[in-house]
Amino acid sequence: MSLEQEIEKRKTFGIISHPDAGKTTLTEKLLLFGGAIQTAGAVKNNKIKKSAASDFMDIERQRGISVATSVMAFHYKDKLINLLDTPGHRDFAEDTYRTLTAVDSVILVIDCVKGVEAQTERLMEVCRMRDTPVIVYINKMDLEGRDAFDLLDELEEKLSINVRPMSWPIGIGRTFQGVYKIYDKSLNLFEGDKTKIAETKVSIDGLEDKKLIEQLGEEAAEELRTEVELVEGVYDPLSVEEYRAGKVAPVFFGSAVNNFGIQEMLDKFIEIAPSPRPRHTNTREVFPTEPKFTGFIFKIHANIDPRHRDRIAFLRVCSGTFERNTFYRHIRLEKKFKFPNPAAFLAQSKSVIDLAYPGDVIGLYDTGNFKIGDTLTEGEKMMFQGIPSFSPEMFKEVINKDPMKSKQLEKGVRQLTDEGVAQLFVMPIGSRKIIGTVGELQFEVIKYRLENEYGAKCDFQAKNYFKACWITSDNAEKKAEFIRIKNQEILKDKDNNDVYLAPSEFILNMERQNYPEIEFHFTSEFKTQST
């Protein structure tokens, strides 16, 4: 099979949602439909097994959450689908943001009871930064939830994206009878059976077909006709080009726990979702069809098994063909490395692979050479872009409890922040370290891992900062003046960029007015982030 055929065969996407919207359930059912797993519960069981192999994952077991992105691949029809299931818990949102850099499209799960929540809005901001195509799956239609039109309005208003319903719910909660598939004018009737994959499909000749009343009853049939007529009048027909440009989101309704509304979404997904797309670097755009291999590291997971101290760097292949035991250039280190045991992930199993193609995600065993954002090529000097850090919401200073273990603490903090567990900011004078996270749980993970993996004990002292702002300016004199005046609040990030830790929203707004020559960025990706 040619490189072009291999690329066309692949679809790489992520599933994102607010916690408890049903993301893991949907992931599981997609694998079930794809034949990658045989029984419900396998995804959750796999997470339990995986966490049991790692001491620091005690927190995962105790809290019943996932703290790491799972990479799974499965075949469906004639496609190879690479699925990245992300953590739903907001404390680990940074991992989700990075994962979105490695996918070509996204399925966004919305709880029909709760609608669009704050975490969902933040995730969509990341998608919009890259014009990532989004399909929306509105879940839990068998529960008493919100009106479908209200949900669509909220999606457009809060997520700043146009929507186009591809199916339409017939009732909701106790009155939920199924969906009408607008795009092929057929009915899927809801059975509410968690053990079956099959849905009752009814072929009808449009909404005037007499079979509609036979199946739904006169009142429900008339309501469906009215609502679909309104949908067709309000929403433009789906343009695949606009979907792929990230401007319009197809919307499906269903109930993942009951296996309902998933197959039609999956069928439409493989029809319209983009194959691996070009990626930007600091020198040029890289196209997947280029013969020479390129790829970037978007995630690092260290010490999955503490007995072996293994560390896996997850690489997204962007162009050409990755080959086992071949030397590739590590751009940041300016060294060549080869990888004897690159791993692919097919549902629950991990296997050594000889070849990987654009769109594939592979695991490389790493001895500490990689950082998130690192680029591998066959020799060309370039760095892939678009892997930002966002401003944390909590800031704490690292307090060393054992001066005899200072080196171990330094190494541990550096490695864990390289891995992306949290962000590290260092004061130029005195090298005091401030760790920034999205939530409290990350500090627990860091403290536990520092002690158990590096033998270093520390405490955290809360710091009252509002936001981390990366600062840039075309006026070097004004920037130097600002840094001199605010020297107690100017720190360096892991890449030695200047970061201003603003004490409050009021002071930040004042500084922005006082220094119009300085740009205050809320992500480390300055080019694409408006302030």
When pLDDT is averaged across residues 140-149 and rounded to a whole number, the result is: 93
List Cα–Cα distances, 233 to 207, 228, 360, 466, in angstroms. 15, 8, 40, 46
pLDDT at 5 over 50: yes
Question: What is the structure's pLDDT at 67?
Answer: 44
Total-model pTM: 0.82
Question: What is the structure's pLDDT at 434?
Answer: 96
Q: How far apart are CA 99 and CA 372, in angstroms?
A: 11
Q: How far apart are CA 178 and CA 199, in angstroms?
A: 9
Q: How far apart are CA 34 and CA 77, in angstroms?
A: 8
HEC-encoded secondary structure of 331-369: CCCCEEECCCCCEEEECCEEEECCEECCCCEEEEECCCC
pLDDT at 146 over 80: yes
Q: What percentage of the chain has pLDDT greater than the value 70?
A: 86
Helix spans in 388-439 (H): 406-419
Q: Which residues contact 281 (CB under 8 A, 6 or more apart)?
A: 294, 375, 382, 383, 384, 385
Question: What is the structure's pLDDT at 305?
Answer: 52
Q: How far apart are CA 304 and CA 419, in angstroms?
A: 12
Q: Which residues contact 476 (CB under 8 A, 6 or more apart)?
A: none
Q: Can you count the helices (H) and strands (E) in the chain?
A: 15, 31
Cβ–Cβ < 8 Å for 458, 420: no
Residue-by-residue DSSP string for 199-246: -EEEE-SSTT-HHHHHHH-HHHHHHHHHHHHHHHHHSPPPPHHHHHTT
Q: Report the candidate in 402, 412, 400 with the shortest Cα–Cα distance to residue 450.
A: 412
List Cα–Cα distances, 521 to 271, 498, 516, in angstroms. 38, 11, 13
Q: Report the candidate in 139, 14, 8, 128 with the shortest Cα–Cα distance to residue 80.
A: 8
Question: What is the structure's pLDDT at 19?
Answer: 77
CA angle 459, 460, 461 (to 5 degrees): 125
Q: Report the candidate in 41, 50, 88, 90 with the shortest Cα–Cα distance to residue 66.
A: 88
Backbone φ, ψ for residue 431 (5° rounding)? 55, 30
Residue 426: which H helix or E strand, with range? strand 423-426
Cβ–Cβ < 8 Å for 414, 435: no
Structural domains in the chain? 3-272 (3.40.50.300), 279-377 (2.40.30.10), 394-521 (3.30.70.3280)
When pLDDT is averaged across residues 225-231 and rounded to a whole number, the result is: 93
Cβ–Cβ < 8 Å for 351, 344: yes
pLDDT-derived band at 89 (thresholds 50, 70, 90) equals low
pLDDT at 128 over 60: yes
pLDDT-derived band at 527 (thresholds 50, 70, 90) equals very low
Residue 154: which H helix or E strand, with range? helix 148-159
pLDDT-derived band at 88 (thresholds 50, 70, 90) equals low
Q: Rg (Cα) of the chain, in Å, rounded?
A: 24
pLDDT at 122 over 60: yes
Helix (H, G, I), strand (E, B) or coil at 52: helix
Residue 76's DSSP bridge partners are: 79
pLDDT tens track for 231-266 = 999 999 999 999 999 999 999 999 998 888 998 999
Question: What is the structure's pLDDT at 309?
Answer: 58
Q: How far apart are CA 101 and CA 7, in angstroms?
A: 18
Q: Report the candidate in 347, 259, 323, 290 with the shortest Cα–Cα distance to residue 82.
A: 347
Question: What is the structure's pLDDT at 65?
Answer: 46
pLDDT tens track for 39-66 = 555 554 444 333 333 333 454 445 444 4
Q: What percentage of the chain has pLDDT greater than the value 90?
A: 54
Structural tokens at position 496: 């030695």
Q: Which amino acid is at 467?
A: K
When pLDDT is averaged across residues 319-337 and rounded to a whole number, the result is: 96
Structural tokens at position 63: 């809290």
When pLDDT is averaged across residues 270-282 and rounded to a whole number, the result is: 94
pLDDT-derived band at 92 (thresholds 50, 70, 90) equals low
Q: Name which of 65-74, 245-254, 374-383 the model is least confident about.
A: 65-74
Residue 346's DSSP bridge partners are: 73, 349
Q: How far apart are CA 138 and CA 142, in angstroms?
A: 11
Neighbours of 210 (CB within 10 A): 10
Q: In what order do the strands lie in the sheet with 178-181?
A: 167-170, 178-181, 186-189, 200-203
Backbone φ, ψ for residue 200 (5° rounding)? -85, 110
